[in-house]
Amino acid sequence: MSQPKIKRRVGIYEVGRTIGEGTFAKVKFAKNSETGEPVALKILDKEKVLKHKMAEQIKREVATMKLIKHPNVVRLYEVMGSKTKIFIVLEFVTGGELFDKIVNQGRMREDDARRYFQQLINAVDYCHSRGVYHRDLKPENLLLDACGKLKVSDFGLSALSQQVRDDGLLHTTCGTPNYVAPEVLNDRGYDGATADLWSCGVILFVLLAGYLPFDDSNLMNLYKKISAAEFTCPPWLSFGAMKLITRILDPNPMTRITIPEILVDEWFKKGYKPPVFEEKEDTNLDDVEAVFRDSEEHHVTEKKEEQPAAMNAFELISMSKGLNLGNLFDVEQEFKRETRFTSKCPANEIVSKIEEAAKPLGFDVHKKNYKLRLENVKAGRKGNLNIATEVFQVAPSLHMVEVRKAKGDTLEFHKFYKNLSTCLEDVVWKTEEDMQEMK
């Protein structure tokens, strides 16, 4: 545990912990060392991108995303490349996911849901007008800034897990099944614009109802329900909201309502304020071209610096009040799918206790020093839940343990963590304040 910690830099960015993982990419928290500004650093494997013949598509979409400066879309600042990786520098949004708001509070009042939906349609309309499609719209890709304004993330970058054939249509059935349009499921090709709009309709339903319009544990039954647009609006929805949802969730993409039609809908228009912002034409796209050139002069420098594993224990303890599930939504921490706790137990004992607790919950455990990778052998709603844990030493007799969702469904992670917290009660260091609360 006392080995030196490796500090990593990419160009001017100091790279921190992982805050998200996917098939093609990993997202890390980073800081601009010149300005101190926090950013999200999306790291792609160049070999995978070239193998799947995605280079031209990524180049085109990243170039377009650099030009998109909309208040409801996460900004893409720059793109860099090394010999083996592509680094996309994105705006770091601090208000959490819209998903967490629904998990915590349930359904929304119509005025609140309408306000978020108006911002979503603004973002989608703007990006579509520039030929950029999302293809995986869902509440987990909708972030909120510090002021509660909606920010769509991964717009244009979701093509990393998609494929376009010679007919110009997308064919891969990707995305979260519950939000996917019927035409995406039938593999006859689909238009990204109308498919995105269907997902917007599912999101509006979830905001207003607090649950999914199409849901079934059997995938084939789920597909049948989606293909037939088999859903029922809850009785508390207003007639205007029901009518709009029904027009969006039309299984025929040719007759589905369009964005211009949504903009003049009576329910949608209530309290609508079009976004006011300036578009700058001076965006430099040289970095986008340079990323795919196999020339050393265009490669960004990656540095790894060894430094002592020094952490401020008091700061960490104040961040972490035992195994409180509230830590998952700790805005101060700005990481949505992780939590941490402190322990006075030896590091080996902590690792063994986590392993003992995880196995009865149906997890395979992979160990490497003081890191654990837990993989649920049973697939959940979004594949197998993977959890990464790591033990850090903050003082000779004090450790901090981080528990993070690496892959899978966020709700399933919450349930796992509740079970884990019960099993590890004797491991967690309880402060005097905690002991008083337990009396």
> What CATH number is attached to the domain comprising 409?
3.30.310.80
Same domain, 71 and 29: yes
> Reduced to 3 states, what is the DSSP secondary structure of residue 333?
coil
CA gap 372, 381 in Å, rounded: 23
**Residue 305 structure tokens:** 């610096």
Closest CA to 244 of 207, 211, 192, 190: 207
Same domain, 320 and 174: no
Positions marked catalytic? 136
Closest CA to 324 of 336, 341, 338: 341
Same domain, 264 and 380: no
| Residue 101 domain boundaries | 95-277
Domain count, the chain: 3
Closest CA to 132 of 188, 76, 208: 76
Q: What is the pTM of this model?
A: 0.66
Asked whether residue 77 is assigned to any structural domain, the reply reads: yes
101 is in an annotated binding site: no
CB-CB neighbours of 223 under 10 Å? 18
Closest CA to 85 of 54, 117, 44: 44
Reduced DSSP (H G I as helix, E B as strand, rest coil) percent helix, strand, coil of the chain, to 5 = 35, 25, 40
Helix spans in 210-258 (H): 219-227, 239-248
Same domain, 384 and 241: no
Asked whether residue 46 is assigned to any structural domain, the reply reads: yes
pLDDT tens for each residue of the chain, 439 residues long:
444 456 788 888 999 888 777 666 788 889 998 898 999 998 888 888 777 777 777 777 788 788 788 999 998 888 888 888 889 899 998 888 888 888 888 899 999 999 999 999 999 999 888 888 888 888 878 999 888 899 998 776 665 444 443 444 443 444 468 888 888 877 666 777 899 999 999 999 999 999 999 998 888 899 999 999 999 999 999 999 999 999 999 999 999 999 999 999 999 999 998 887 766 555 666 667 677 666 555 566 666 654 434 455 444 444 444 444 334 334 333 335 677 788 888 888 888 889 888 888 889 998 877 888 899 888 777 778 889 888 887 776 788 888 888 888 777 888 888 888 888 887 887 655 555 555 5
Same domain, 340 and 254: no
Helix spans in 142-227 (H): 182-185, 192-209, 219-227
Per-residue pLDDT, 234: 94
Per-residue pLDDT, 284: 65
**Secondary structure string (H, E, C) spanning 269-295:** HCCCCCCCCCCCCCCCCHHHHHHCCCC
